[in-house]
Amino acid sequence: MDFSFYMPTRIVCGRDCVVKNAPLFRAFGKRALIVTGKSSAKNGSLADAEAALAANGQAYTVFSDVPNNPTVESVRAGAAAARSFGADFIIAVGGGSPMDAAKAIAMLARQDAEDIFSHPIGKDVLPMVHIPTTAGTGSEVTPYAILTNDERETKQSISAPSLFPQIAFLDGKYMQDLPQDTTVNTAIDAISHAVEGMLSTAAGELSDALAREALRSLFGEYENLRQGRYTPESRQNLLYGAAAAGMVIANTGTSPVHTLGYSLTYYHGVPHGRANGLLLPAFLARCLQKDRVRTERIYAALGMGAEEFSRKLAVLLGERESYPDSELRAWANKAAQSRKKCAVAFSEEELYGVLKESVGR
Ligand code: NAP
Ligand code: ZN
């Protein structure tokens, strides 16, 4: 049993956990920058973060200019806000976009990085508390921040142990009015993380156990996802499953499914989780031919075979996007050059095959 597993983020889960655990914020200093998007002002998450800070007498300011798929420009603006406010710590409130932006902001507030993508990230990063309001990315428990890289025309992650948040608060009540399409797309992202983590050369007993637990919790909500009907308990199950899957990829990384998906997002604005979901069944079915033992273990964790998995995701995804061959070829070429710790090797031609079957014309 050889593996290594690292998880430095404290997880606090349950209804009203932010306000109930306000004293936990005290350790990080006197002044907080809250990094968020637009929806947190309406779903109660921003108000809870503000109430916790007010209870502690901590000063704060809000930076709410994080776009979906955060840009380098936006995190530089956030870092400038952190510096001018003299922030001691960062609170990220929102989906993957604000949570990822917060990590880059926490780093840039303390380190000068001319090129953020090649900068060697040091240990001096502002401490972070993350409050997810979508159940998908698991960013609250990962050391990754995914930013748009216009130079390379894709999305690219920056990563370092110092980018792990110190605390993640998991309260599903913020997702009460999360739109159905975002709920489904983010749940598929989490499913994709659990599956891709099990395909990694860095997978081990503990990450596989977490992946199985994530899939149990996420697929336990399948009927609710299909019907768009959620109880507070289903919201919490999705959030818990997404965090478990996040702990998996924090240790294993993702697979070429994510790299291929970045092109769908970069060039056509396909939401991140949806992009993965469109590609994952065809990718996994090919893995079965290349590494039967490993892939059968994944289908066993899913509790279904290749056909059923494909059908179930197709029901959630609805009508598929389709793109011309010229684009698919370019995306396969780009993905073939990116390094992933996937135990199943795919040639450029095979990646093209996955794209063709999933979103070809
Ligand atoms: P998102 O881009 O953060 O949010 C999607 C949409 O949902 C936004 O319009 C957002 O609005 C809105 N929203 C968020 N929470 C809401 C709520 N509770 N109620 C109503 N609306 C809400 O989407 P995401 O899927 O969570 O994150 C995707 C990003 O995460 C991508 O950039 C992806 O590359 C990245 N990612 C990161 C990791 C990682 O390990 N770090 C892993 C996977 C993916 P506002 O933003 O305006 O509030
Ligand atoms: Zn993802």
Q: Which of 157, 174, 191 is the last residue of a domain?
A: 174
Mean pLDDT of 107-126: 97
- Tell me: the pLDDT tens digits for 143-196? 999 999 999 999 999 999 999 999 999 999 999 999 999 999 999 999 999 999
Q: How far apart are CA 19 and CA 159, in angstroms?
A: 30
Mean pLDDT of 74-79: 98
DSSP annotation string for 152-188:
TTEEEEEE-GGGS-SEEEE-GGGGTT--HHHHHHHHH
Is the pLDDT higher at 339 or at 74? Answer: 74
Mean pLDDT of 273-295: 98
Mean pLDDT of 329-350: 95
The answer to whether residue 53 sits within a structural domain is yes
The answer to whether residue 3 sits within a structural domain is no
The answer to whether residue 5 sits within a structural domain is no
105 contact partners, CB below 8 Å, separation of at least 6: 33, 35, 63, 75, 78, 79, 81, 82, 90, 126
- Tell me: the pLDDT tens digits for 17-74? 999 999 999 999 999 999 999 999 999 999 999 999 999 999 999 999 999 999 999 9
Q: How far away, in angstroms, is 273 Cα from ligand 2 center?
A: 6
**pLDDT at position 161, please?**
98
H-helix segments, 231-291: 232-252, 256-268, 272-290
Residues 98 and 213 both lie in one domain: no
Residues 113 and 41 both lie in one domain: yes
- The protein residue whose alpha carbon is closest to atom 14 in ligand 1 is 95
The answer to whether residue 161 sits within a structural domain is yes
The answer to whether residue 1 sits within a structural domain is no
b/e map of 161-175 (b: 16 or more CB within 10 Å)? Answer: ebbbbbbbbbbbbbb
In terms of residue numbers, what domain contains 207?
A: 179-359
The answer to whether residue 23 sits within a structural domain is yes
CA of 174: how far to CAs of 14, 170, 220, 322, 339, in Å? 11, 9, 20, 34, 36
Residues 192 and 302 both lie in one domain: yes
**pLDDT at position 233, please?**
98
Domains contained in the chain, number:
2
Residues 141 and 217 both lie in one domain: no
Mean residue pLDDT across the chain: 97
Q: Considering only CA atoms, which of 303, 309, 331, 192 is closest in space to residue 252? A: 192
**pLDDT at position 1, please?**
85
> The CATH number of the domain where 280 resides is what?
1.20.1090.10
Q: Which two tokens stand for residue 137?
A: 């990315």
**pLDDT at position 338, please?**
87
**pLDDT at position 315, please?**
98
The answer to whether residue 2 sits within a structural domain is no
Residues 275 and 300 both lie in one domain: yes
Residues 132 and 69 both lie in one domain: yes
**pLDDT at position 182, please?**
98
* Predicted confidence (pLDDT) at residue 341 exceeds the cutoff of 90: yes
Q: Which of 174, 204, 229 is the last residue of a domain?
A: 174
For residue 339, name the pLDDT band (cuts at 50, 70, 90): confident
Q: How far apart are CA 337 and CA 347, in angstroms?
A: 10
**pLDDT at position 30, please?**
98
Q: How far away, in angstroms, is 257 Cα from ligand 1 center?
A: 19
Residues 340 and 285 both lie in one domain: yes
Residues 169 and 216 both lie in one domain: no
Q: Which of 145, 174, 203 is the last residue of a domain?
A: 174
The answer to whether residue 4 sits within a structural domain is no
Which of 7, 64, 97, 254 best tests ligand 1's pocket when mutated (most atoms within 8 Å of CB)?
97
- Tell me: the pLDDT tens digits for 183-221? 999 999 999 999 999 999 999 999 999 999 999 999 999
CA of 357: how far to CAs of 23, 121, 305, 352, in Å? 52, 39, 18, 9
Residues 141 and 166 both lie in one domain: yes
Residues 111 and 194 both lie in one domain: no
* Predicted confidence (pLDDT) at residue 255 exceeds the cutoff of 90: yes
Residues 197 and 342 both lie in one domain: yes
> The CATH number of the domain where 86 resides is what?
3.40.50.1970
Which of 141, 182, 255 best tests ligand 1's pocket when mutated (most atoms within 8 Å of CB)?
182
Q: How far away, in angstroms, is 158 Cα from ligand 2 center?
A: 14
Residues 204 and 128 both lie in one domain: no
- The protein residue whose alpha carbon is closest to atom 28 in ligand 1 is 96
pLDDT above 90 coverage of the chain, percent: 99
